[in-house]
């Protein structure tokens, strides 16, 4: 994170910090109210809630993401430490825990190669923090630096914590029902098919949505994921790699290898392989590779910096 801090903004950051401290003091003197419960500083996040729980929240407080799994022994050391620090830092950052076994697309989108891995999202921007069970002193230093970046660059002063607030809503408060959208049933059916590895069923459901609503973002992403997973489901990875290495100019071999790269989390490798295949081929072969690359962009998402870099590389090759 070196070089991220704008030293000219130190004064403004100090003022922002003072305002945040005053807000916390006022909340304490008023007997709480309006703040979040300490238990709410640690949340479990999945792919469906990532936008609201992480991206949107990162506009008000730095969100630290702990990628973990039940079978990972170092995760069992790091997780409780991060949870304790989240409470101790009293709203200056939010801890989001992501189980990589249940959320592999998030793991791929962040390019996770091993766990535990810790990232941060600040004002919608992702920052890698560290990998592995780091010492507490190092983690504290990293968190302090992250909070400083959030204050100086984006004016994030954290969230107010009310120690007396309930961690959950009272049982007699029933949330208002959200009206179902016109495609909610189809999208839910497609998601269930995808979870059950029924890729053909998921593809059909997503295509039905897109036939009526061609710009439906959820359906476009789901279709790209379902088609990708369907293509790699029966592949022999070793044979695919061998074919790609022996036939560097074969567009089909390179597209298949790129699919495996992406599913394995090697996003830049997948994009680079297809950009090179576009460069090597012409006519219908080139167009087929270009279309496949655009499909993989849909899987990762247009806002990912790796997609932006690959689009630039593709433009150089095409034009």
Facing residues of 117 across strands?
67, 131
Report yes or no: 45 and 96 within 8 Å, Cβ to Cβ. Answer: yes
- The answer to whether 7-154 and 235-319 have equal CATH topology is no
Is there a catalytic annotation at residue 265? no
Report yes or no: 75 and 115 within 8 Å, Cβ to Cβ. Answer: yes
Residue ranges per structural domain of the chain: 7-154, 178-233, 235-319
Q: 170 or 93, which is more confident?
A: 93
Q: 207 or 216, which is more confident?
A: 207
As a whole number of angstroms, the distance between CA 296 and CA 273 comes to 12
User: Which of 64-73, 144-153, 173-182, 291-300 shows the lowest per-residue confidence on average (mean pLDDT)?
Assistant: 173-182
How confident is the model over 227-259, as pLDDT tens digits? 999 999 889 999 999 999 999 999 999 999 999
Is there a catalytic annotation at residue 224? no
| Marked catalytic residue, from 20, 61, 64, 72 | 72
Q: For all residues of the chain together, what is the average pLDDT?
A: 82
Nearest to 140 by CA among 181, 94, 85: 85
Report yes or no: 161 and 90 within 8 Å, Cβ to Cβ. Answer: yes
The sheet with strand 94-99 has its strands ordered as: 42-44, 94-99, 63-68, 117-122, 125-131
| Marked catalytic residue, from 75, 96, 127, 160 | 75
Q: What is the per-residue pLDDT for 62? A: 92
Task: Give the rounded distance of the alpha carbon of 35 from its chain centre.
Answer: 26
Residue percentage of the chain with pLDDT more than 70: 83
Does residue 168 surpass a pLDDT of 50?
Answer: no
How confident is the model over 193-205, as pLDDT tens digits? 888 889 999 999 9
* Superfamily of structural domain 235-319: Tetratricopeptide repeat domain (1.25.40.10)
Does residue 296 surpass a pLDDT of 80?
Answer: yes
Q: 138 or 164, which is more confident?
A: 138
The architecture (CATH level 2) of 7-154 comes to 3-Layer(aba) Sandwich (3.40)
């Amino acid at each position: 994170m070196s070089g991220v801090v704008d030293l000219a903004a130190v004064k403004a950051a100090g003022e922002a910090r003072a305002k945040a401290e005053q807000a916390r003091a006022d909340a304490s003197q008023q007997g709480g109210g309006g703040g979040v419960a300490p238990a709410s500083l640690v949340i479990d996040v999945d792919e469906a809630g990532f936008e609201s729980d992480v991206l949107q929240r990162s506009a008000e407080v730095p969100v630290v993401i702990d990628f973990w799994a039940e079978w990972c022994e170092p995760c069992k050391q790091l997780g409780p430490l991060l949870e304790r620090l989240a409470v101790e830092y009293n709203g200056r950052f939010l801890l989001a825990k992501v189980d990589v076994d249940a959320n592999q697309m998030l793991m791929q989108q962040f390019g996770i190669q091993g766990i535990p891995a810790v990232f941060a999202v600040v004002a919608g921007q992702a920052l890698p923090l560290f990998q592995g069970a780091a010492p507490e002193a190092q983690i504290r230093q990293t968190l302090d630096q992250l909070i400083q970046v959030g204050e100086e660059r984006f004016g994030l002063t954290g969230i107010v914590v009310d120690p007396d607030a309930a961690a959950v809503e009272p049982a007699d408060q029933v949330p208002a029902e959200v009206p179902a959208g016109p495609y909610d049933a189809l999208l839910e059916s497609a998601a269930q098919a995808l979870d059950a590895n029924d890729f053909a069923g998921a593809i059909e459901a997503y295509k039905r949505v897109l036939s009526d609503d061609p710009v439906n973002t959820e359906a476009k992403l789901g279709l790209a994921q379902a088609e990708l997973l369907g293509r790699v489901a029966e592949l022999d990875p070793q044979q695919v790699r061998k074919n790609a290495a022996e036939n560097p100019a074969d567009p089909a071999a390179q597209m298949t290898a790129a699919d495996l790269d992406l599913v394995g989390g090697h996003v830049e490798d997948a994009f680079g392989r297809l950009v090179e295949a576009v460069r090597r081929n012409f006519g219908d072969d080139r167009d087929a590779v270009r279309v496949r690359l655009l499909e993989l962009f849909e899987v990762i998402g247009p806002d990912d910096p790796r997609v932006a870099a690959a689009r630039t590389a593709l433009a150089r090759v095409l034009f």
